[in-house]
Structure 1
Amino acid sequence: MRPRITWKVATSLDGRIGTSTGESQWITGPQAREQGHRLRATHDAVLVGVETVLADDPRLTVRLPDGETAADPLRVVLDSRLRTPPFARLARAGTLILTTREPIVIGEAEIVRVAGDSQGRPTVEAVLETLSARGVRSLMIEGGGRVAACFVTAGVVDAIEWFRAPILLGGDGRPGVASLALARLAHAPRYRRLAVEPMGDDLWERYEKA
């Protein structure tokens, strides 16, 4: 059985995760970011694409207020061409890099080759099979827009945790989800809103697959 998949995203009001130059830290405020860490702590694994690694150099660890502790999830990077730098924060033990190329050494990260699509990127099916075999039952996707689009298009995103900041970044900003190539509204993936909650100046919106 595949993992339950949650897409967690922090955007502007107009659905952008960064400016046209790629600046994205921090769109949302401290309360929303803290809640993001709490969500991360409830998942077996968190996943990003290599573009997020190159742009933000994330740690993907759980960082909670003083006195609170939680285990870090497995960190997963989709990196078809193995562009993750050896000095990246994710190039360490506890990180799994999935690629379609012959594995090479990247710091202390584990590199695994999986099946690719026509463009040489890891297929969603191969990614989920690999994670399921490792006992991952819950996966949170944290970026970027192209990765989110792949999983949404595959119909496997079960829930969305959306943090929306009261700013506008415009059409040249980086979209939270890349092209879905939809010709008709009837083909659009549909979700049911569960809750909307203020988080400081931001909004936390929760959805599940309809």
Structure 2
Amino acid sequence: MKLPVRGLYAITQTEKKSPATIIEEVTAAIRGGAAIVQYRDKNPTDALALAADLVQVCHQYQVPLIINDHIELAAAVAADGVHLGKDDGQISYARERLGGDAIIGVSCYDSIERALAAQRQGASYVAFGRFFPSSSKPLAAPASIGTLSQARRVLDIPIVAIGGILPENGGQLLAAGADLLAIIGGLFDHQPESAARAYGALFGPTDKANPFE
């Protein structure tokens, strides 16, 4: 499944939630317009089972599922790709393990140099952030909105922004150069379907051709 060029990037909120609740919330977010989903779970009890269920739900709606951090888990459940932080493995290994069509995202924090290196190594997209205070990542180093503008000038792959993004502030990140907005609490601290629709309004019409296809 292809990476959407623009739209809402939903990231699971799993702490103190049952697998059934997580599935229900992700389904609601997709119904509200989420274009891609990432399974992120720092303290999993049965990651294999939940990831497999999420793949099934996402594919039912023709939405790609990305696994955070774990290349082997992504391979085991036939997810659409993986998202790698600085300590989560190499792009080349992820590509070898998951295949040429896999979506491979890379966290670049506030570093254009890291993003350029990721692009050279075959990343499908890069992510910058956090841009605003975030309850999900309270200790993450801040990123500059100017980084998005610079990234837009030098990168040829989609750009994801993350960190404290709300419908009220997401528009300035899109205007600066972001293609996708990655959201955790802004979706799942609320009713996910209606929250997803509020973010979706930032993107306008969604029937444009994908230039990355």
Larger radius of gyration: 1
When the two structures are superposed, what TM-score results if normalisation uses the length of structure 1?
Answer: 0.38
Q: Which has the higher strand share?
A: 1
Q: Which has the higher helix share?
A: 2
When the two structures are superposed, what TM-score results if normalisation uses the length of structure 2?
Answer: 0.38
